[in-house]
Structure 1
């Protein structure tokens, strides 16, 4: 019952009761609508839940510190705003996100929300954040946490909506359903999914998987998908974990040798 209450609170502000309805089109094409949350981003689905889950750990987390390339920041701010037990500090790159995303963050006047526009790319913004997390005394003193794609609770909720989509398409659970979205864990859990991933010109993840080349490009290309205008993706360690069969020692050694940085 406790979990149900948290989920009900998380989805209270969604504009449709189904939360993520599926629209069916001719020739087998179906679209799962993930834009019914408060910021119209699919990130609302997971981060609205994360905001509620964090309230279970009031004594452990006092400060959330993150950078955003757009949609994560807006969803995170909406999930945390007004909470008396935690402050959120959100950085975003000047001129690199849409006007509506910027306004969604900067127009929030709750006392626990602190949003900063920063010169540079989103990859540059990660540097001071990582420095803070490396400072163990600072991290412990402020009970520091983050709310980007490193946060496993967010990934956990995204897994659920892929399994939900599968069950809507295949109630008998005996067919393969093709989903055009970049995720993997739902398939690893046994759901018969086939994923089709698309990339922009900033295709560092696809290039790394296909060629093994994880070299950082000289510059980031500004695209319509500004959330992907990065060269240092958060989820590479998770991808290596999957591709190596969960070989933590190998990944740790690679990271220590700076091969994966």
Structure 2
């Protein structure tokens, strides 16, 4: 399996080369030259298998220049002991026909743990020289990447997060991380500034040549981050089938709260591989750039970024959308290049009518306001005794709105992307109608007391943990801080 650039500006590379590079050095993202498929029989044969076994079946189709033994050892070490749930990603029935996929049973209480326990181990087996992993995070990716790469031989990791725009819990999880190869930087800007700054570094070969190390990414722009996420859509479908919640070959709707479009893109790839999926519902918060795009065909980032209770979705430039559009244009790099030149220059682009029609057959976009998000947390807990985190609440509300627009008859899988304790102030605000901002640890204890849910292991002793990272930099200071960190 080779990987090609979405903009047609780079030679095809192997899977290990795509993972080491992270993104196309000249701009664009790597995508597989073809999407492998499972037959209905092959999908059914996986029913009853363990997560690690299904992961091996899926990933060996994409990561073809890694040996079966290497993949098996990497998968085994990633998922055997690092997740509290035996299934890795258990499904929970919320009501008839509606199921949550709990993606947060890993080390840092967020869905990013699933790929980021796997990717660092795989990268360490592929690298030929020390690799510097640069990460832009809106909150959850940072800690998951730090935990995954911490003390991994042959790597150093630098995480950039938007100062004062992540939750206090997220910030403390990152800044208290140990490891001899980790660094965390608060950037004076928003997530898009972090993401654009990191992308600029990847495109700056002259800057990279200052260092003996190779640069790579742990964001979902890296195919090694995205591929492992395909696995959990297939395993979740098979869990429901094994429980008798689905008829044979029954189609489902998949609902994903997303900002950078990576998680829902992995569901898109699962669909293309043969998983019986009807529609993907792209759920946005008040930063509704994706919801607007799927309704109108115009991607317009010329708007104010709003800070919400679901900060991992406070994003205006959704990097992985480029991969989706590449497939939906029939792999047309010229159109992709033209659209993204317009996005860079004017902050917007509009797709052609044929592409819009193809998009409509696959994805439906919705968004939830802040008031709707908090109301959903309160109502679902009152009705079902289940505490949603704000991101998952956005997904649930958008699913409800989707059902109001179409005649629903499909079983729904909704991605539950974070443990509610990770966003305790927002959850407790919804459940108590009181403000908890600045009282994060009180909210954590109160949420445990109210729901009976134990505090996730990554948060239990966070209050007493030592702050190990205190780097800050201005918007235009990413190169200078990288020099400072790597030359220390």
- TM exceeds 0.5? yes
Q: Secondary structure at the match of 1:196?
A: strand
- Kindly state the Cα deviation for residue 25 of structure 1 after the two structures are TM-superposed: 4.3
- Kindly state the Cα deviation for residue 127 of structure 1 after the two structures are TM-superposed: 3.3
* Aligned 8 A contact 1:65 1:145 in 2: yes
Counterpart CA distance in 2 for 1:209 and 1:241 is 15
**2:234 aligned partner:** 163
Once the two structures are superposed, residues 118-163 of structure 1 have per-residue CA deviations (whole angstroms, 9 ceiling, x without a partner) of 1111111223322211221433543100111101122111111111
> Which 10-residue stretch deviates more, 146-155 or 188-197?
188-197
User: Which of 193, 216, 222 is the aligned partner of 2:277?
Assistant: 193
**2:91 aligned partner:** 22
Q: Secondary structure at the match of 1:214?
A: strand
* Aligned 8 A contact 1:166 1:193 in 2: no
- Kindly state the Cα deviation for residue 61 of structure 1 after the two structures are TM-superposed: 5.2
User: Which of 255, 262, 271 is the aligned partner of 1:180?
Assistant: 255
Q: What RMSD over aligned residues (CA atoms) do the two structures have, in Å?
A: 2.0
* Aligned 8 A contact 1:7 1:49 in 2: yes
Judged with a 3 Å threshold, the aligned counterparts in structure 2 of structure 1 residues 22 and 218 are, in CA distance, closer, same or farther, namely closer
1:200-239 equivalent positions in 2, closer than 5 A: 200-239=285-324
1:41-120 equivalent positions in 2, closer than 5 A: 41-60=110-129, 62-120=131-189
User: Which of 243, 248, 258 is the aligned partner of 2:328?
Assistant: 243
* Aligned 8 A contact 1:24 1:30 in 2: yes
Counterpart CA distance in 2 for 1:45 and 1:173 is 27
Counterpart CA distance in 1 for 2:339 and 2:95 is 47
Counterpart CA distance in 1 for 2:197 and 2:168 is 24
> Which 10-residue stretch deviates more, 46-55 or 161-170?
161-170
- Kindly state the Cα deviation for residue 38 of structure 1 after the two structures are TM-superposed: 0.5
Based on CA coordinates, which of the two structures has the bigger radius of gyration? 2
**2:70 aligned partner:** 2
Counterpart CA distance in 2 for 1:187 and 1:84 is 35
- Kindly state the Cα deviation for residue 23 of structure 1 after the two structures are TM-superposed: 2.0
Counterpart CA distance in 1 for 2:241 and 2:196 is 44
Counterpart CA distance in 1 for 2:177 and 2:107 is 13
Structure 1 regions of 5+ residues with no counterpart? none
Counterpart CA distance in 1 for 2:307 and 2:205 is 35
Counterpart CA distance in 2 for 1:202 and 1:4 is 40
* Aligned 8 A contact 1:167 1:173 in 2: no
Counterpart CA distance in 1 for 2:293 and 2:94 is 34
Judged with a 3 Å threshold, the aligned counterparts in structure 2 of structure 1 residues 169 and 60 are, in CA distance, closer, same or farther, namely farther
* Aligned 8 A contact 1:70 1:102 in 2: yes
Q: Secondary structure at the match of 2:282?
A: coil
**2:480 aligned partner:** none
Once the two structures are superposed, residues 17-57 of structure 1 have per-residue CA deviations (whole angstroms, 9 ceiling, x without a partner) of 22111223441222221111000001101111111111111
Counterpart CA distance in 1 for 2:130 and 2:286 is 37
* Aligned 8 A contact 2:124 2:155 in 1: no
- Kindly state the Cα deviation for residue 173 of structure 1 after the two structures are TM-superposed: 4.7
> Which 10-residue stretch deviates more, 163-172 or 59-68?
163-172
The alignment's TM-score, normalised by the length of structure 1, stands at 0.92
Counterpart CA distance in 2 for 1:61 and 1:166 is 39
> Which 10-residue stretch deviates more, 168-177 or 59-68?
168-177
Structure 2 regions of 5+ residues with no counterpart? 1-68, 257-263, 350-488
Count of residue pairs the alignment pairs up? 261
Q: Secondary structure at the match of 1:170?
A: helix
**2:389 aligned partner:** none
Q: Secondary structure at the match of 2:96?
A: helix
